[in-house]
């Protein structure tokens, strides 16, 4: 089974700073099926990035994704107050297909 490990567990930054979140897979992934979600307290997750680097509909260009193989990154270029949330990476694949999430990175205001 593929395991996704996110780092850091918690990231403390100030508005206006740049955030870099990492996700490492236990085996090489097909980028076609790797994405990132944002979740705020009491809300359902929201898709931010799919296919490792494509922004979902309505997502600010401050969010960007990169990576391939086993190492993927979510970058938020200039943090806004509404960006402070928990972020999850996700991969899908296999036969039969399954979806796996990382354990999450909490982005908090410093």
Enumerate binding residues for other proteins (CB under 8 A). 1, 33, 35, 37, 39, 44-47, 50, 56-57, 88, 90, 92, 96-104
Closest approach of Cβ 77 to other proteins, in Å? 22
Q: Is 88 exposed, middle or buried (0-12, 13-18, 19+ CB in 10 A)?
A: buried
- What are residue 92's DSSP bridge partners? 99
- Cβ–Cβ < 8 Å for 51, 35: yes
User: Which of 3/78 has CB closer to other proteins?
Assistant: 3
Closest approach of Cβ 109 to other proteins, in Å? 19
Q: What angle do CA 100, 76, 3 make, to 5 degrees?
A: 20
User: Which of 15/28 has CB closer to other proteins?
Assistant: 28
Tokens linked to 44 = 């359902």
User: Which of 76/105 has CB closer to other proteins?
Assistant: 105
φ, ψ dihedrals at 31, nearest 5°: -60, -25
User: Which of 82/98 has CB closer to other proteins?
Assistant: 98
């Amino acid at each position: 089974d593929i395991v996704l490990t996110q780092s850091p567990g918690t990231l403390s930054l100030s508005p206006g700073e740049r955030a870099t979140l990492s996700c490492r897979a236990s085996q090489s992934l097909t980028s076609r099926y790797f994405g990132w979600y944002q979740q705020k307290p009491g809300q359902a997750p929201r898709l931010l990035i799919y296919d490792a680097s494509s922004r979902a509909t309505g997502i600010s260009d401050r969010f960007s994704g990169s990576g391939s193989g086993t190492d993927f990154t979510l970058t938020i270029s200039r943090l806004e107050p509404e960006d402070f949330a928990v972020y999850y990476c996700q991969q899908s694949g296999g036969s039969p297909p399954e979806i796996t999430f990382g354990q999450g990175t909490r982005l908090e205001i410093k």
